[in-house]
Structure 1
């Protein structure tokens, strides 16, 4: 298109590309249409459409038009739409809209005070002239939106803003992505259109195949798993809402919950528009394991997206609150997902931190959670200090966003309403057949507590006496030190998150083969072995941890009932005091509470012990704000009427893991060619999302400060950091990634002595 001085544009063609410029009205209408589609399942399409039509009207200003033509500097173009919404869309609804429009580049700001480096909304709106709508843009009539939400509390109103914000962000990114791709003649690789009914048929076939291999009659544990599966499928026709699936470890709840979710979504697809499954897992380390199990079960269809925090950038380059570049490509360079897939496997950190985030990259996917079946695996491990905000989010998704939520747990559902816990969830329907009976039937081990604290030498001595034994400790350094103490023993193995996912998969495959053949396996591991890993040892040692972790560890012992129950042995021990062997801060509270229970109960997995555990961990804390340590709910109640929500402050406070981790791409030798190709391709792409997904299996997470030191020492380099920020960090000092122990970041300058010998 001729870029004459009278035409108002939103974007110019990407650098080095000859093509048509995008008129502003055309961009606004596209974004409005897409945003309305995103919000359809929430019941607010007109509001979302208006957000799309208003978000960039500031580009109508002569200063921006000079900038886009290369004759000036970038200017604020998001405030104008916010001012218009606040003035013309109703005092209350307009203010809610203003939050989303003003924040569509830098993030949702606080209403009144500075926070997160963002100017508060009130200040951005103060004394600003009301702009005119660009030619060709007309807002839809807004229905009685305020009347519909006037009864909402502060939490619900703020939640709605964040969901509408997500609609705007995703629509804006998708429209800009389509424009730049068309200008460059490139296809847009996004989403997956495989129907859930097709996936359910594949899963049914897979489960039938497993049943046929079991023989007649099946072993007791397999018969129990079949009963669980039959029960959840029978109850999949129940109306959407809240469910629990209480099945002890080893009872087959992972595939049973997926089977329920797919059938439930299919049954209610037409009336309730359920369209995807979001599977939320407590730990990053087992995301790829669960996703791999699902891919195997759903083959040949590639319909599973795994998304954790590996490539969510903390330090993305920005020149200001409205920086996007003349062509809009800057906002597409983050490897963020919008969850437009039939099945999403993610972590509790990613899921819940996104629900309380203010960042566009984190919030973008939120609207796609509406109309989902959400499975919360190990639901009792929700973060204690944020438990009440998390429960409120669960209620909100079920009540206002058409979600069904399944609380999966191997113990008792600890977050249900009861006399001691009035804030718990209500109207939760159990999917399992008689959980109490299942517990008795699946009791396959004897559990003993070792009274004396165990040093590394003491544990090593125990490991040497057993040919097949698993020892689970609470951090990577403890696991490394213990493995070094037994590395001369046959079958000594180490499994921690210092190894990338592809490396861990290969080790697990070898371990499983050795166990089947009766060869020695002395495995030292961190908690990553406890969930999503189908493996069985006759003896398991477990460092003191939360009761839910002890239950998971017990699930790796005599898993198939191959031994008599009294022959499966689980030994709980307290590690001897050592600075490097303490549990991470986020787990230490669980371990401390479990210690109290272990002192009182011979069987810490008994129903009485579990009751005591959650009474100490959750229910007794409600009187002194221990379950909402950041007072998030109170801050939203206080600002309910004024609508001055502290979005930036809440996002900063809601950090499940304070010591944030950062990814490093490691040189895993068996995949060297694949990794090299992906890294080379990364030098040329504008949108790195597909490459980021492929690289996830070659990532090791380290403390962010440790990665900074590695980078400063030249051991790690950032790829295209001017464009991608700190998303992609690759390990250049390959000596730091060991074939057995994985990544060691303690000494960034380490070199293998053998490599220093000429010809070595």
Structure 2
């Protein structure tokens, strides 16, 4: 039986109330539905789904027409669920397409649900149950739905092959994004109007203005006066000429030192302007180099407001201008800027998330240029769903994706490609190389010689480090790095860099290292792979413990970086010390050693391709999609098993998709040279929001295993800070003897930890 609400006066059924204000200041439901429908339609227009999104917007809050919800707005009863009714209406009105719309509507507050079956993540209740429990309502007066004749553009001509369900589920994500962003923005706009707040959103410039600024910045470098600078100029010119090519998939294979950061930005702006694309998304695997990349872009474009830096540790409150801080904070919610610099974690986890706050930016990826910097760092255990998403953005949503790196992973399928073993690989015919003759470029920029040093013990390695004035050693294990560093005690310029040091501590060490290198003074660094994450240092000699070829290439990027010597030296050694690396890293190292034995130059393009081909085949197809989704192995498998009923496990996928699997947890260091200063700790005692506290703690924390952190707390060596207000969120080290001022966090025998407190 229908619950008829169509005869209710549209000005007496409300979407939002205003505390303390009379009802004539409240927002009528029809006004809100129409506003969200219009905005969602605009957001989905770039990917050809404007009318589908309009329907979703017009239906999303249909449940607010229920008398029970209106009574809730008037304070006469507890909160009343309202998203199921619109989902039910869509499913009944629009058939199969209606089910995709119903996911978006049902999830616009709690998140995209599973189709059937309770979820391991949130929301637990599946769409099937939400629709079954919802009331049947008619449309409020003044709401007229579009007819929705034919499929939206991304689903037109959809072949029912093994990728069909991925495409259908991906369309649902993009539709959901358009809906929830529209709902957030229109609700925000209503309350801004009522409360007289100015609107801080948006950016008023143009891509053409940014390109003119970039051209002026590049022209200021003047004529190339060295062979290397001449090569950089040729690369830039050739890549920009390729911007006229139709949107799609591209590779940019440029060696370290080839200027790929600004070259990729120039291509992206040229390409966007040539084809009516709207923005640039620059994705970087390391937080450590996001800040420097964003700073390079701001300087080159001459417009700080045009560049959004979005990652977990960005300090909005640290900006000098409160208005700028608020504008950028709002822009980060939906990537409302022409250039966004973000992490691979933020980018890919958003693509497979289900929460509205994480997904609302996804529609911005349509008609965008996506630069994947250091593309070889794509996550192996999630490689297949990541590639499927990137290909779908290019195929159905008008985006261009650029795989940008000196060491291209072997992602192309078939005999003409790299033999990538899964269907999500790239078709060689669909990938355009932008760089001019990558093999020749590799030889032109070759600045190091890689040698196999065989097996070494720690004493021999320490002797080698003492023998040279400027040298870097990179090990696979933090404890091993600490042991070797201790063996260098007394050596001039000795230092260590690991993730057991706070960011503030590491920055100070790197500043000292760079000064010593520039001044020609002795400097002997022992580090973990942390230093390979885009850290700009230039050593004449690097020792690298056996690892994958991609890691060796990154290590080589810290050697003779500026080409000041005829050739730098990189020695790859196998340690016989008792510090075994994780099993996955052992496999990388084993394959790397085989490639090293087969190729005279293990960093050549042929050797890199050989390495990745071996790696992908050895791991196998299942290991390239290894997330456990509601008891099923693999995201692609879980989607395929949804069948033609379209019962996609959105909530389970969101719970399973994690780029960083190790589960390391933060431990805050306080006091001393590298911990939170006492006056800052006192100030933070009065900060009411956990997010602001977390950002303030970022420069002063280390990551530790959950088991170790629990031990520290159990022994009294660490404690929960403001647990009564924030729960067990901020673990603070209480024992200052466990943080060494030179080497960082030093977890000695756990049995002694508690007794060392003072």
The 2-side partners of 1:14 and 1:488 are apart by 68
The 2-side partners of 1:576 and 1:394 are apart by 41
| Runs of at least 5 residues in structure 2 that lack an aligned partner in the other structure | 1-8, 316-328, 627-632
CA RMSD of aligned residues (A): 3.8
Q: Secondary structure at the match of 1:210?
A: coil
Match of 2:357 among 358, 361, 366: 361
Residues 517-556 of structure 1 correspond to what in structure 2 (within 5 A)?
Answer: 517-556=519-558
The 1-side partners of 2:359 and 2:700 are apart by 26
The 2-side partners of 1:703 and 1:174 are apart by 39
* Aligned-residue offset at 1:437: 0.7
Report the number of matched residues: 711
Aligned to 1:235: 242
The 2-side partners of 1:397 and 1:710 are apart by 45
Confirm or deny: 8 A CA contact 1:540 1:571 kept in the other structure: yes
The 1-side partners of 2:722 and 2:614 are apart by 45
Residues 282-321 of structure 1 correspond to what in structure 2 (within 5 A)?
Answer: 282-309=285-312
Aligned to 1:124: 130
The 1-side partners of 2:187 and 2:669 are apart by 33
Pair 730,203 (structure 1): closer, same or farther in 2 beyond 3 Å: farther
Aligned to 1:74: 79
Confirm or deny: 8 A CA contact 1:282 1:348 kept in the other structure: yes
- The answer to which of 228-237 and 421-430 deviates more is 421-430
- The answer to which of 649-658 and 544-553 deviates more is 649-658
- The answer to which of 497-506 and 280-289 deviates more is 497-506
Residues 39-78 of structure 1 correspond to what in structure 2 (within 5 A)?
Answer: 39-78=44-83
The 1-side partners of 2:80 and 2:197 are apart by 30
The 2-side partners of 1:208 and 1:606 are apart by 32
Pair 669,638 (structure 1): closer, same or farther in 2 beyond 3 Å: closer
The 1-side partners of 2:47 and 2:238 are apart by 31
Aligned to 1:582: 581
* Aligned-residue offset at 1:669: 6.2
* Aligned-residue offset at 1:194: 4.0
The 2-side partners of 1:209 and 1:529 are apart by 31
The 1-side partners of 2:102 and 2:445 are apart by 55
Pair 7,371 (structure 1): closer, same or farther in 2 beyond 3 Å: same
Confirm or deny: 8 A CA contact 1:289 1:533 kept in the other structure: no
Q: Secondary structure at the match of 1:452?
A: strand
The 2-side partners of 1:66 and 1:545 are apart by 64
Deviations, residues 176-221 of structure 1 (Å, cap 9, x unaligned): 3334445555445445444333333333333333346xxx631x32
The 1-side partners of 2:697 and 2:204 are apart by 23
The 1-side partners of 2:359 and 2:400 are apart by 20
Confirm or deny: 8 A CA contact 1:57 1:77 kept in the other structure: yes
Deviations, residues 205-251 of structure 1 (Å, cap 9, x unaligned): 33333346xxx631x32222222112111212222111111122222
The 1-side partners of 2:31 and 2:733 are apart by 46
Aligned to 2:595: 597
Match of 1:279 among 269, 277, 282: 282
Aligned to 1:327: none
The 1-side partners of 2:537 and 2:111 are apart by 44
The 1-side partners of 2:21 and 2:495 are apart by 52
The 1-side partners of 2:584 and 2:365 are apart by 27
Aligned to 1:325: none
The 1-side partners of 2:205 and 2:682 are apart by 28
Pair 659,428 (structure 1): closer, same or farther in 2 beyond 3 Å: same
Aligned to 1:404: 400
Aligned to 2:390: 394
Greater relative contact order: 1 or 2 (C-alpha under 8 angstroms, separation 6 or more)? 1
Q: Secondary structure at the match of 2:387?
A: helix
Residues 312-711 of structure 1 correspond to what in structure 2 (within 5 A)?
Answer: 337-419=333-415, 420-421=419-420, 423=423, 424-426=425-427, 427-455=430-458, 457-501=459-503, 503-565=505-567, 568-579=568-579, 582-583=581-582, 587-619=585-617, 625-629=622-626, 630-662=633-665, 679=684, 683=688, 700-703=702-705
> 2:266 matched to 1:267?
no
Deviations, residues 548-571 of structure 1 (Å, cap 9, x unaligned): 111111121112221112xx1101
TM-score relative to the length of structure 2: 0.83
Pair 555,351 (structure 1): closer, same or farther in 2 beyond 3 Å: same
The 2-side partners of 1:477 and 1:300 are apart by 44
